[in-house]
Amino acid sequence: MRLSFSEALLKLAANDPNLYVISVGLRPSVMLDRFSTRFKARFIECGVAENNAAGIAAGLSKSGKNVFLCTYSCFSPGINLATIKQSICLNNLPVKIIGYHAGLLTGELGASHQMLEDIALMRSLPKMEVFAPIDAVETYKMAKVLAKSSRPAYLRLVRPSTPVVYPGRLGFTIGKSPVLQSGKDITVLGYGPVLAQVFSIVTKKSLEIINCSSLKPLDESTILKSVKKTSRLLVVEDHQQNGGLGEAVAALILKSSLKCRFAHLAVKNLFGQSARDPYDLYRLHGLSPVNILDTINKLCSR
Amino acid sequence: MNIFRNKKHPLSTVAQEIRLNVLDSINTAAAGHIGGSLSSVEIMVALYFSDIFNFDRDHFILSAGHLCPTLYAVLAKLGKIKYSDLSTFSDFDSRLEGHVSVSVPGVEYSSGSLGQGLSFAAGLALGDKDRHTICLTTDGEHNEGQIWEAIMFANKYHQGNLINIVDLNNQQIGGTTADIMPLGELASKYLHFGWTVETINGHDLFALIKALKIAKASTIYPACIIAKTVMGKGISFMENDYHYHDVKKLPAALYLQAKNELSNPTY
């Protein structure tokens, strides 16, 4: 994902002389070395100062530049929420906030660096749109779409290389959640690589897998249409249960008066911890393929 | 009387009018940050009514958004908004938000959360190098770490087109800045961070205009103007009293006294 996004930025910057990248002292880790040498004048290094970086991004955007603010999600929005709220959202400036190293997959860096609250923070802000690609392929497609968007946006990326499941022929549209696999027994909804695991599950159940990479705006009609068909819904996310996609979708279902069995796999009010194999953390927090299959079986048992 | 000069600046009548409008808009709303609004009057008058900058091109970023009654009064004087708008300050159906807002014509930045404006101004100055960006911050606002992040940034990027005016009135909402969080000698701090600095009397329009001209001439270094001011300037019972950081409706007798003093300035 990181590599895919930096490739996309290089390509976009070559065609858009207004494209600027704001770095917050983590240039090598967010894979911006090549950008920083090729587009030196458009690479703005703020040092490890996230609030200033968000303010610089907003001011640059005000001057008409196409600005990408690139650092770890645990710091942006983790540290600079108030600056994002006022300087970016209240002033309605189309800064693109790229949150790297989100979720438990950040692995050995431990609890401080495993951002599990970013979606909750970002989806609560007026004007802000929120996206989380499932893999490197969708990341690239999203980068191209976001570069043309005239609204503030948050994009959530993860640290390790993850399996590619997104069909190459499928585009990305803001506010659309493509059904990646049609089924009739249960709707499985999520975003990011934790959802990609569902493709590795072997089961006789017919799974309808929806990639909810556009978290805000949410593709309500696709979700409701699927739940109406299956009457069973599992939401899985590498994020706190509080404030995540599960809550958004649960509210949507309740308002719709559809009848549906519902389960939500997410981090339950806990911090992460270090792990050399980040998938150990998925097993610990009940987000592994085995946990997902168990939950599917429970929901389908009646 | 101004002890430094005998001659009044021609713009002092504009400052007097702005002060009266600040008092009336806040008293009508029965809420507003009057102390800082009054201390920043000459600063904004010098910016908008001298010919040094042209804010149809140059940028003014009010980082301390609670000083907006003064900016709104300036914008009314300029014809960007109507004088009658001033009496709607902070009301439900008014564009004149209680903290400065881009919903008001002529305002470039919505703020209120302190410490963010200098970063925004530095970003704007970076993207628009042909023009000047002038930011107005306060001494109390320098409690915020983000201000110092922006100060370092402006030095790194040699932002000669960036000016930060500090309205240094020594007061903040809960006491003197010395009590709440002492800033110490601010000018030398800016100097050590790579800025040029002018320290002046922030109510002296001659000094303000001269300092702005010097700051504008700086092409490599970001420029800081430390404007030493008096909180509540012009209303004797408010001056230097942090309890007048913000006010509700003034008792009638005090309002009349305030109006009378602003109408017949002795400074």
- Model confidence pLDDT, tens digit, residues A58-116: 999 999 999 999 999 999 999 999 999 999 999 999 999 999 999 999 999 999 999 99
What is the mean pLDDT of the segment spanning B73-96?
Answer: 97
CATH value at residue A110: 3.40.50.970
A186 and A269 part of one domain: yes
- Tokens at residue B90, please? 């902070």
Q: How many CB atoms lie within 10 A of CB B62?
A: 26
CA distance A286 to B238: 62
A27 and A127 part of one domain: yes
Q: What is the DSSP string of A89-135?
A: IITT---EEEEESBSGGGGGG-GGG-B-SHHHHHHTSTT-EEE--SS
A10 and A152 part of one domain: yes
A150 and A191 part of one domain: no
A184 and A292 part of one domain: yes
pLDDT band at B267; cut points 50, 70, 90: confident
What is the mean pLDDT of the segment spanning B189-218?
Answer: 98
Kind and range of the H or E run holding B3:
none
Query: Does the residue A283 lie in any domain?
Result: yes
A65: left (phi over 0), alpha (psi -120 to 50) or beta: beta
Using alpha carbons, list the distances in angstroms from residue B72 to B49, B106, B212, B220.
Answer: 14, 9, 21, 32
Kind and range of the H or E run holding B257:
helix B252-263
Percent of chain A with pLDDT over 70: 100
What is the mean pLDDT of the segment spanning B95-110?
Answer: 97
Q: Does A150 touch chain B (CB under 8 A)?
A: no
pLDDT of residue A165: 96
pLDDT band at B266; cut points 50, 70, 90: confident
CATH value at residue A236: 3.40.50.920
Query: Does the residue A161 lie in any domain?
Result: no
Query: Does the residue A166 lie in any domain?
Result: no
CA distance B126 to B120: 10
pLDDT of residue A164: 97
Count of domains forming chain A: 2
Q: How many CB atoms lie within 10 A of CB B54?
A: 10
Query: Does the residue A53 lie in any domain?
Result: yes
Query: Does the residue A168 lie in any domain?
Result: no
A45 and A89 part of one domain: yes
Alpha-carbon torsion (B47, B48, B49, B50), positive or negative: positive
Q: Strands (DSSP E) along B121-235, which ranges?
A: 133-138, 162-168, 171-172, 175-176, 196-201, 223-228
Asked whether A16 and A96 are in contact (CB, 8 A), the reply is no
CA distance B63 to B118: 7
pLDDT of residue A302: 67
CA distance B71 to chain A (A): 18
Task: Report the residue of B146, B148, B158, B164 to disrupt the A interface, i.e. the one with the largest count of A CBs within 10 Å.
Answer: B146
Q: Do B150 and A52 touch (CB under 8 A)?
A: yes
Query: Does the residue A107 lie in any domain?
Result: yes
The sheet carrying A261-267 orders its strands as A179-181, A207-211, A186-190, A232-240, A261-267
pLDDT of residue B4: 55
Contacts of range A269-275, beta carbons closer than 8 Å, 24 or more positions apart: A269/A240, A269/A241, A269/A242, A271/A111, A271/A114, A271/A116, A272/A104, A272/A106, A272/A110, A272/A111, A272/A114, A272/A116, A273/A110, A273/A111, A274/A107, A274/A108, A274/A109, A274/A110, A274/A111, A275/A107, A275/A108
A16 and A88 part of one domain: yes
B111: left (phi over 0), alpha (psi -120 to 50) or beta: beta
Using alpha carbons, list the distances in angstroms from residue A141 to A132, A300, B54.
Answer: 12, 34, 43
Domain extent, residue A227, equals: 179-299
A18 and A118 part of one domain: yes
Q: What is the CATH number of domain B12-263?
A: 3.40.50.970
Q: How many CB atoms lie within 10 A of CB A138?
A: 27
pLDDT band at B255; cut points 50, 70, 90: very high
**A115, burial (CB in 10 Å: exposed 0-12, middle 13-18, buried 19+):** buried
The pLDDT profile of chain A, 302 residues, written as one tens digit per residue, is 999 999 999 999 999 999 999 999 999 999 999 999 999 999 999 999 999 999 999 999 999 999 999 999 999 999 999 999 999 999 999 999 999 999 999 999 999 999 999 999 999 999 999 999 999 999 999 999 999 999 999 999 999 999 999 999 999 999 999 999 999 999 999 999 999 999 999 999 999 999 999 999 999 999 999 999 999 999 999 999 999 999 999 999 999 999 999 999 999 999 999 999 999 999 999 999 999 999 999 999 96
CA distance B255 to B259: 6
Compute the C-alpha angle B123/B125/B126, nearest 5°: 65
pLDDT band at B7; cut points 50, 70, 90: confident
Q: Is the pLDDT of residue B116 over 60?
A: yes
Query: In 3-state terms, what secondary structure has residue A153?
Result: strand
CA distance B111 to B63: 6
Q: Do A56 and B108 touch (CB under 8 A)?
A: no
Mean pLDDT score of chain B: 96
Using alpha carbons, list the distances in angstroms from residue B28 to B22, B23, B86, B210.
Answer: 10, 8, 9, 35
CA distance B106 to chain A (A): 14
What is the mean pLDDT of the segment spanning B17-23?
Answer: 98
A150 and A200 part of one domain: no
A108 and A254 part of one domain: no
Q: Is the pLDDT of residue B5 over 60?
A: no
A295 and A213 part of one domain: yes
Query: Does the residue A260 lie in any domain?
Result: yes
B133: which chain A residues are within 8 Å (Cβ-Cβ)? 59
Query: Does the residue A31 lie in any domain?
Result: yes
A44: which chain B residues are within 8 Å (Cβ-Cβ)? 126, 157
pLDDT of residue B1: 44
Q: What are phi and psi of A258, to 5 degrees?
A: -70, 145
Asked whether B120 and B112 are in contact (CB, 8 A), the reply is no
CA distance A15 to A21: 14
How do A186-190 and A207-211 pair as beta strands?
A: parallel
A135 and A244 part of one domain: no
Q: Do B119 and A64 touch (CB under 8 A)?
A: no
The sheet carrying A43-45 orders its strands as A43-45, A19-23, A66-72, A96-100, A153-156, A129-131, A214-216
pLDDT of residue A30: 95
CA distance B259 to chain A (A): 35
CA distance B108 to B62: 8
Using a CB–CB cut-off of 8 Å, the residues of B that contact A are 102, 108-113, 115-128, 133, 145-146, 149-150, 152-153, 157
